[in-house]
Amino acid sequence: MQKVLESGKLTAGPFVEQFEKELAHYCSYPHAVAVSSGTAALHVIFHALGIGPGDQVIVPDFTFIATANAARYVGANNVFVDVDPDFFTMDPHALEAAITSQTKAIVPVSLYGQAYDVDEISKIAKEHDLLVISDNAQSIGAKWKSNANLGDAAQIQSFYPTKNMTTGEGGAILTDSSDLAEKCRLWRNIGQRKPYDYACAGYNYRLPAVNCAMGSAQLQKLPKFTEARRKNARILNDLLSSVPQIQTPTEREHAFHVFNQYTVKAENRDALWEHLKKKEIGANVYYPHPLHSLATFNANAQTPITEKLCQTVLSLPVHPSVTEAQIQEIAEAVKSFYR
């Protein structure tokens, strides 16, 4: 951080490039473009891929709102589809049923830190000639068949403070395509190829050098953070296995889960949540409403699994600062509620 300040290079320059290089390497993509948030990353990649008015974009109904905002920014339409009841990610059957001649792209989300069904979704995308933009905002380092590169057109990341690594605010686009990376760099930086030569109506979505230096430092710690999350999740799984009212999260075949959230399905969820709050345990509900039902979208969708999950999911703390004693306390508090 000190080095950045002393260098005087507070925005585009060596610290940004260094972070992008390290991030690309960590995520197994040749190109990374750092931007000011995950939301900006989605906005930029939608432009760079030419998604616009009249296009339909298929998104899961069970995710953070930013996943579905990007289509609106560029004048495209969201189609909300249901998710799998056990892994909480886009249901490939629902996806296939929703495809029309207007569909241009799919935005599957690796929710809570676990990859979506990459094989099935990629197969459907190929058959219908659709773009896949992976929303991996919650899942840096999540893998499918041991690879963090999900074989998509592009993947986006968020470095908001609740994520597995942070730059305060920040995000990135990762891609195999040098052309696409170049377009993203233009959309990130006012469309500027060189001074007073503009390729498009780009934004100012640059990530400052101080944030990038923070990102480089965080990336070094990320494998340890991830292992701590996975360990905490394993312990909680064991401790809660005897509670019939709780269904603990499962790591799906081929996936490496990075546990941004440890999310159970709980009977009598709201009362359990209140009980944990009284004990000052930072449990939380992600997400209480199907996206399509929010007033800001007010869209039609048949998503019974999402409706049910909105009433039953509860995330328990497993972040790297949670101690083993605290994990025991959390499990005991859950057990005491059902007793």
Ligand X SMILES: Cc1ncc(COP(=O)(O)O)c(C=O)c1O
**Nearest distance from residue 35's CB to ligand X, in Å?**
9
How many Å apart are CA 279 and CA 245, to the nearest integer? 19
**Nearest distance from residue 142's CB to ligand X, in Å?**
12
Contact residue for ligand X among 39, 103, 189, 226 (CB under 6 A): 39
Least Cα distance to 314 among 279, 278, 288 occurs for 288
* Stretch in the footprint of ligand X (CB under 6 A) among 15-23, 33-41, 125-133, 208-216: 33-41
Q: Which is nearer to ligand X, 174 or 272 (CB)?
A: 174
**64 touches ligand X (CB under 6 A):** yes
Name the residue with tokens 């676990």: 114
Residues between 125 and 144 that touch ligand X (CB under 6 A): 135, 137-138
β-partners of residue 59 are: 80
Handedness of CA 288, 262, 66, 253 (dihedral sign): negative
The number of helix segments (H) and strand segments (E) in the chain equals 11, 14
**Nearest distance from residue 36's CB to ligand X, in Å?**
8
**Nearest distance from residue 148's CB to ligand X, in Å?**
16
The site for ligand X, by CB under 6 A, has a size of 14
**Nearest distance from residue 221's CB to ligand X, in Å?**
19
**Nearest distance from residue 248's CB to ligand X, in Å?**
21
**58 touches ligand X (CB under 6 A):** no
Can you spell out the DSSP letters for 214-279? HHHHHHHHHHHHHHHHHHHHHHHHHHHTT-TTEE---PPTTEE---SSEEEEETTHHHHHHHHHHT
Contact residue for ligand X among 56, 63, 134, 226 (CB under 6 A): 63
Q: Which is nearer to ligand X, 56 or 158 (CB)?
A: 158
**Nearest distance from residue 239's CB to ligand X, in Å?**
27
Number of residues in the chain = 339
Residues between 144 and 203 that touch ligand X (CB under 6 A): 158, 160, 171
How many Å apart are CA 231 and CA 240, to the nearest integer? 14
Contact residue for ligand X among 58, 109, 140, 314 (CB under 6 A): 109
Can you spell out the DSSP letters for 284-315? B-S-SS-GGGSTTT------HHHHHHHHHEEE
* Stretch in the footprint of ligand X (CB under 6 A) among 4-12, 64-72, 73-81, 178-186: 64-72
Contact residue for ligand X among 24, 31, 46, 67 (CB under 6 A): 67
Q: Which is nearer to ligand X, 199 or 285 (CB)?
A: 285
* Stretch in the footprint of ligand X (CB under 6 A) among 31-39, 221-229, 250-258, 277-285: 31-39
Q: Which is nearer to ligand X, 63 or 232 (CB)?
A: 63
How many Å apart are CA 261 and CA 250, to the nearest integer? 12
Instruction: Give the phi and the psi of residue 57 in degrees, each rounded to 5.
Output: -125, 125
**Nearest distance from residue 38's CB to ligand X, in Å?**
2
- Is the CB of residue 171 less than 8 Å from the CB of residue 35? yes
Which stretch of DSSP H or E encloses residue 100?
A: none
Q: Which is nearer to ligand X, 54 or 161 (CB)?
A: 161
- Is the CB of residue 45 less than 8 Å from the CB of residue 69? no
**38 touches ligand X (CB under 6 A):** yes
**Nearest distance from residue 74's CB to ligand X, in Å?**
16
Peptide bond into 287 cis (omega under 30): yes
Which residues here bind ligand X, judged by CB under 6 A? 37-39, 63-64, 66-67, 109, 135, 137-138, 158, 160, 171
